[in-house]
């Protein structure tokens, strides 16, 4: 026999494929071939559909199945199918089973066979939708259970057999007796209309619909309705049976039983009444609880408001007392200066000027403490290492606490860095050490301990901070400790246990505000006679620390070596005038404006400025930061010095300033202003 050419072979293969496809399509059942593949869940942890007939969609409702993976269409129940088909693939033994196809919302009856050697990883699947049969079987099982329960409880009224084509309704003696019918006629067969006449008028429509539905599908039937019995009253019953369909799909026979439901209905009604009564009780109880809760919340709000007003009264009272003393000193010094000038006695002026300046410094310190407590002080945070800061403060701390108190410092070898205002942490440390000294009048031991701490969500919530990594600074003393009531008020402004004139009561409140403003917290652990430990938590800084400079170091700026042009913007005329005069005395060239729009107009006429000095809080729709951005849009490298009386974080980008920007806090000394200007303006001559 002559061999076939390649074209003839390809033609026969194509014809074979067509015939095979036609065969698949001729099958009414669903058919597919799956191929196991490796996946993210491991070897053979998924399979893909490589062939399928149109019956697949008819029996599952899922179309375009070829190329889809199991875990795409059934992700939550994939392992069930992998186990069933995987066993067929590995053993080569065919399998028949019924399984719920959850993704399709159906039950399917499956025949599965391995297709080819195991290395191919293919399984052929033939299946059909058996959801209706499963529902019918479930309903039938439920009916059987009901009948069994009714028999056990003696609740069977009677049985019937309905010959549907003949329209004859035969009943047994129990059925006939219950409805006052002649048992002999009941056995012979009654017209359906006579039976329907016993059904309550309100239930007849529902009964007709239930019978029509079961006649359409066949199978199990259960329906509850009311019927008039022998005594003339209506009672609940349940008709329970099964419709057998003829070959042409029409109902042929309908046998069943009647179950007395009156007792159960009475129990259910009583249960419903009890539930309704309980629900009413719960509703009224919830209402009473809500009313009581609202009353308690109202009382709590009133108490909180009273406490708030008490705290405000304490705060304003202490503030008024201290500022009145300061103002008296300033006013008295100015009055004496006026008198001495009138008398020509200028030799005494320096003493009175110094007195007024000292009072101003005290007022500035008091304001700084108030701003620290309210978390509104202007901070200049830098990446810092507390080990170096504490080491630089060691001698000052020792001198401050005196020789009767031993100072011990402890720190791990690799303490994390933190992002903090160095001057403020030094101030806080010194304040806490002086407080510890006052708590040890007869001497003792002061321990400054640093540590790395990682707080989980529970520990962080206890301290009022976010979970994460922190650096702790603890100041521990062996002093008299604090009573519970003192400990509870330790951070209140102007609260102090020291005698009058020995303390303002703002030290701890300042530390409290500074810690919170820095993203951390402060807390105290103490008991009477057992000393006290004040601990600061500061967030860890992931970068490297820079070289810190002592915040208290005083440096005097030299006068400008040549003229630099500076734009000063401040809406307070007196502050603006003082700033301009101080800098003019140092040899700078000054132009001034009262707000942002005026400053931008001046900039158009003076595009060669070397420095912008601006207040942060400016009127007329443009704050200091917006003005700086507008100026830098024209002069990208121009330095900026922000002047502010408190921490306007949102304006200053929460303390993160760009290169060439600094902050100076009001009130400021002339030397401090000159130093900042010298640093920012630089010493190089501007290229003209």
Q: What pLDDT does 369 receive?
A: 59
What is the maximum span of the chain, computed from C-alpha positions, in angstroms? 145
pLDDT in tens, 495-510: 666 554 444 444 677 7
Give Cβ neighbours of residue 331 (< 8 Å, ≥ 6 apart): none
Instruction: Point out which residues pair with 47 in neighbouring strands.
Output: 36
Q: How confident is the model at residue 154 (pLDDT cuts 50, 70, 90)?
A: very low
pLDDT in tens, 29-62: 889 999 999 888 888 899 999 988 888 998 999 9
H, E, C per residue of 622-640: CCHHHHHHHHHHHCCCCCE
- Residue reference for tokens 């208290």: 552
Q: How confident is the model at residue 551 (pLDDT cuts 50, 70, 90)?
A: very low
In 135-197 the beta strands, taken as DSSP E runs, fall at 156-163, 168-171, 190-191
pTM, rounded to two decimals: 0.37
Q: What pLDDT does 337 receive?
A: 76
Closest CA to 630 of 658, 595, 600, 660: 600
Instruction: Give the end-to-end CA distance of the chain in Å, rounded to a whole number.
Output: 105
pLDDT of 371 > 60? The answer is no
pLDDT of 160 > 70? The answer is yes
Higher pLDDT, 141 or 338: 338
The answer to which of 15-24, 347-356, 560-569 has the lowest mean pLDDT is 15-24
Contact by Cβ (8 Å): 249, 221? no
What mean pLDDT is predicted for residues 202-208? 90
CA angle 466, 471, 476 (to 5 degrees): 115
Residues in the chain: 688
H, E, C per residue of 662-684: EEEECCCCHHHHHHHHHHHHCCC
pLDDT of 321 > 70? The answer is no
Long-range CB contacts (< 8 A, 24+ apart) of 453-458? 453/537, 455/537
Percent of the chain with pLDDT over 90: 19
pLDDT in tens, 640-665: 998 876 655 445 654 567 788 888 87
Higher pLDDT, 352 or 578: 578
The answer to which of 229-238, 311-320, 444-453 has the lowest mean pLDDT is 311-320
Instruction: Point out which residues pair with 241 in neighbouring strands.
Output: 221, 256
pLDDT of 147 > 90? The answer is no
Question: Which DSSP symbol is given to 202?
Answer: G
pLDDT of 87 > 90? The answer is yes
Q: Decide: residue 435, CB within 10 A, 0-12 exposed, 13-18 middle, 19+ buried.
A: buried
Report the run of H or E that residue 293 belongs to, with start and end. helix 262-343
47's tokens: 């399979």
Instruction: Give the full edge-to-edge strand order of the sheet including 156-163.
Output: 190-191, 168-171, 156-163, 251-260, 234-245, 219-228
- Distance between CA atoms of residues 531 and 533, nearest Å: 7
Question: Which DSSP symbol is given to 506?
Answer: -
Give Cβ neighbours of residue 388 (< 8 Å, ≥ 6 apart): 545, 548
Closest CA to 477 of 407, 428, 531, 529: 531
Q: What pLDDT does 78 receive?
A: 92
Most confident of 129-138, 176-185, 461-470: 461-470
- Distance between CA atoms of residues 647 and 663, nearest Å: 10
Closest CA to 451 of 476, 432, 430, 486: 476
Helix intervals (H) in 201-254: 204-217
Contact by Cβ (8 Å): 213, 137? no
Instruction: Provide DSSP, 37-64.
Output: EEETTEEEEEEEEEEE-THHHHHHS---
pLDDT in tens, 515-530: 777 788 888 888 888 8
What mean pLDDT is predicted for residues 575-601? 88
What mean pLDDT is predicted for residues 57-81? 91
């Amino acid at each position: 026999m002559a061999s076939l050419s390649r074209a003839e072979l390809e033609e026969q293969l194509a014809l074979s494929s067509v015939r095979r496809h036609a065969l698949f399509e001729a099958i009414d059942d669903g058919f597919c071939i799956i191929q196991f593949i490796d996946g993210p869940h491991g070897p053979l942890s998924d399979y893909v559909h490589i062939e399928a007939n149109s019956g697949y969609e008819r029996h599952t409702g899922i179309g375009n199945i070829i190329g889809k993976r199991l875990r795409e269409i059934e992700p939550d129940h994939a392992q069930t199918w992998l186990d069933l088909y995987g066993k067929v693939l590995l053993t080569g033994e065919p399998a028949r089973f019924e399984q719920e196809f959850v993704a399709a919302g159906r039950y399917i009856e499956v025949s599965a066979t391995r297709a080819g050697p195991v290395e191919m990883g293919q399984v052929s699947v033939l299946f059909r939708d058996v959801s209706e049969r499963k529902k019918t079987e479930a309903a039938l099982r439920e009916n059987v259970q009901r009948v069994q329960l009714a028999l056990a409880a003696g609740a069977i009224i009677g049985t019937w057999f309905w010959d549907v084509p003949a329209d004859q309704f035969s009943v047994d003696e129990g059925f006939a007796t219950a409805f006052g019918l002649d048992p002999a006629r009941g056995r012979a067969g009654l017209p359906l209309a006579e039976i329907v006449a016993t059904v309550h008028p309100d239930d007849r429509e529902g009964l007709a619909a239930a019978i029509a539905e079961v006649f359409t599908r066949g199978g199990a039937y259960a329906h509850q309705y009311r019927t008039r019995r022998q005594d003339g009253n209506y009672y609940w019953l349940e008709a329970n049976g099964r419709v057998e369909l003829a070959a042409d799909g029409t109902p042929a026979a309908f046998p069943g039983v009647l179950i007395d439901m009156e007792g159960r209905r009475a129990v259910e009604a009583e249960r419903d009444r009890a539930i309704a009564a309980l629900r009413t009780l719960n509703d009224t109880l919830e209402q009473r609880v809500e009313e009581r809760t609202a009353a308690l919340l109202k009382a709590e709000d009133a108490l909180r408001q009273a406490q708030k007003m008490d705290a405000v009264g304490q705060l304003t009272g202490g503030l008024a007392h201290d500022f009145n003393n300061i103002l008296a000193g300033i006013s008295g010094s100015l009055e004496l200066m006026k008198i001495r000038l009138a008398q020509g006695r200028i030799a005494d002026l320096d003493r009175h000027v110094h007195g007024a300046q000292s009072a101003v410094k005290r007022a500035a310190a008091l304001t700084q403490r108030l701003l620290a407590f309210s978390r509104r002080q202007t901070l200049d945070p830098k990446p810092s290492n507390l080990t170096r800061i504490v080491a630089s403060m060691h001698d000052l701390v020792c001198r401050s606490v005196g020789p009767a108190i031993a100072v011990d410092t402890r720190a791990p070898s690799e303490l994390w860095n933190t992002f903090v205002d160095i001057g403020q942490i030094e101030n806080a440390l010194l304040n806490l050490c002086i407080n510890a000294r006052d708590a040890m009048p007869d001497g003792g031991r002061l321990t400054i301990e640093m540590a790395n701490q990682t707080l989980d969500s529970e520990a962080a919530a206890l301290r009022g901070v976010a979970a994460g990594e922190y650096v702790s600074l603890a100041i521990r003393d062996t002093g008299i400790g604090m009573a519970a009531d003192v400990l509870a008020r330790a951070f209140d402004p102007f609260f102090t246990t020291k005698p009058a004139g020995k303390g303002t009561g703002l030290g701890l409140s300042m530390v409290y505000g500074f810690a919170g403003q820095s993203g951390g917290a402060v807390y105290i652990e103490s008991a009477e006679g057992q000393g006290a430990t004040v601990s600061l938590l500061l967030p860890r800084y992931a970068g490297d620390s820079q070289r810190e400079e002592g915040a208290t170091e005083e440096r005097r700026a030299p006068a400008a070596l040549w003229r630099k042009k500076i734009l000063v913007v401040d809406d307070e005329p007196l502050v603006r005038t003082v700033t301009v005069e101080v800098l003019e005395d140092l040899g700078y060239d000054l132009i001034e404006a009262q707000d942002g729009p005026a400053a931008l107009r001046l900039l158009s006429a003076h595009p060669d400025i070397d420095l912008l000095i601006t207040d942060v809080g400016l009127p007329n729709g443009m704050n200091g930061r917006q003005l700086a951005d507008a100026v830098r849009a024209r002069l990208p490298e121009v330095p900026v010095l922000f002047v502010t009386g408190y921490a306007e974080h949102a304006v200053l980008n929460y303390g993160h300033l760009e290169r060439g920007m600094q902050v100076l806090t009001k009130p400021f000394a002339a030397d401090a202003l000159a130093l900042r200007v010298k640093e920012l303006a630089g010493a190089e001559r501007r290229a003209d």
